[in-house]
């Protein structure tokens, strides 16, 4: 049995857990590069019976799955992966299994990006290395308003930390109720009021047909010129062209992004050269602890599958 581990950007997969427990008849091959072309991906995976994917880095649509006759098992980080065509996998009798995961890394990174943005840490780092001194003036979080778009397993702890900073915290999502908001200690407001009132707008929604492109030109136009937008959820929730225009025209004060429409970003992508924009390369879940859990669970899933015992099957 051959196993392919995709998008191992940092080359850590083989060090994160004990793959030898799978036995000598199983071979594991890791790939650190990302393939955008579907035909290249099919050519790479055609000889593998098991594919391990890191969250949603590589898409596995029906057109790819149907060209992989040897593929019997996909293991993905987490218990959901919108980049895998689940119906096609079921039709082709390919098992899709998941792993444990938590929100701690993304919550912590969100606050790193918020503080990095409002205190201009990236800009000041670059400036001091260039010989300058104190080139920006930040804002205090205490007394400002945090707008949380989505009050789920990431949004809730982000909101609670906002309260600890002394911020007024407001929230909205399509399914949010006043009772749920009250339980977290925040105020539920209409969507347009969230945009108008937030000094920092932080996004924590799942990507779906309802949320794709949710933040566009008109929504950014409702925000304060002094406001910051932070997205550690999924890139397509924010319309990229609209955000670029809002930053270039100083329609908002700044933004911080950990997620993008295109990942990895191409070397000439306009986001790379846009000012007042703090960028991280989808690091929310990228921690040593998170990787150890993911790859250990992936090995457990593979062992269970090979032994004919139940795995953490995605539905």
CA-to-CA separations, 119 to 115, 138, 272, in angstroms, rounded: 6, 4, 20
Residues in the chain: 315
In which element (H, E) is residue 254 found?
A: strand 254-257
Q: Which residue matches tokens 């000598």? A: 24
Please confirm, yes or no, whether 275 is among the known catalytic residues: no
Q: Of these residues, 120, 234, 240, 276, which one is catalytic?
A: 234
Please confirm, yes or no, whether 263 is among the known catalytic residues: yes
Sign of the torsion angle spanned by Cα atoms 192, 194, 200, 206: negative
As a whole number of angstroms, the distance between CA 152 and CA 150 comes to 6
Under DSSP, is residue 4 helix (H, G, I), strand (E, B) or coil?
A: strand
Q: Of these residues, 263, 269, 292, 312, which one is catalytic?
A: 263
Question: Is residue 287 a contact partner of residue 102, using CB atoms and an 8 Å limit?
Answer: no
Half-sphere exposure of 174 (CA within 13 A, CB side): 9
Please confirm, yes or no, whether 234 is among the known catalytic residues: yes
Joined tokens for residue 122: 């990236």
As a whole number of angstroms, the distance between CA 144 and CA 147 comes to 10
**C-alpha distance across the termini of the chain, in Å:** 25
Supply the residues annotated as catalytic: 234, 263, 282
């Amino acid at each position: 049995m051959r196993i392919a581990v995709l998008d191992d950007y940092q080359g850590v997969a083989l060090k994160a857990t004990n793959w030898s427990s799978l036995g000598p008849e199983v071979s594991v091959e890791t790939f650190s590069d990302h393939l955008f072309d579907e035909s290249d991906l099919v050519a790479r995976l055609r000889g593998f019976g098991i594919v391990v994917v890191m969250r949603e880095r590589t898409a596995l649509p029906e057109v790819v799955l149907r060209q992989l006759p040897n593929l019997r098992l996909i293991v993905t980080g987490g218990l959901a992966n919108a980049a895998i065509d689940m119906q096609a996998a079921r039709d082709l009798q390919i098992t899709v299994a998941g792993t444990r995961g938590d929100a701690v890394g993304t919550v912590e990174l969100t606050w790193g990006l918020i503080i990095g943005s409002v205190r201009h840490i990236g800009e000041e780092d670059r400036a001091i290395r260039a010989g300058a001194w104190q080139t920006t003036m930040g804002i205090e979080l205490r007394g400002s308003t945090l707008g949380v778009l989505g009050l789920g397993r990431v949004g809730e702890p982000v909101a609670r930390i906002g309260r600890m900073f002394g911020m007024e915290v407001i929230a909205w999502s399509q399914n949010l109720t006043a009772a749920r908001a009250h339980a977290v200690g925040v105020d539920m407001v209409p969507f347009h009021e969230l945009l108008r009132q937030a000094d920092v707008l932080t996004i924590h929604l799942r990507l779906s047909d309802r949320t794709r492109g949710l933040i566009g030109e008109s929504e950014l136009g409702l925000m304060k010129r002094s406001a910051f937008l932070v997205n550690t959820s999924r890139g397509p929730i924010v319309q990229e062209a609209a955000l670029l225009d809002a930053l270039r025209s100083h329609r908002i004060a700044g933004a911080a992004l950990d997620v993008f429409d295109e990942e990895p970003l191409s070397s000439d992508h306009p986001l790379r050269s846009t000012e007042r924009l703090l960028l991280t390369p989808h690091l929310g879940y990228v921690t040593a602890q998170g990787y150890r859990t993911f790859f250990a669970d992936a090995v457990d899933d593979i062992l269970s599958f090979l032994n004919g015992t139940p795995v953490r099957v995605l539905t």
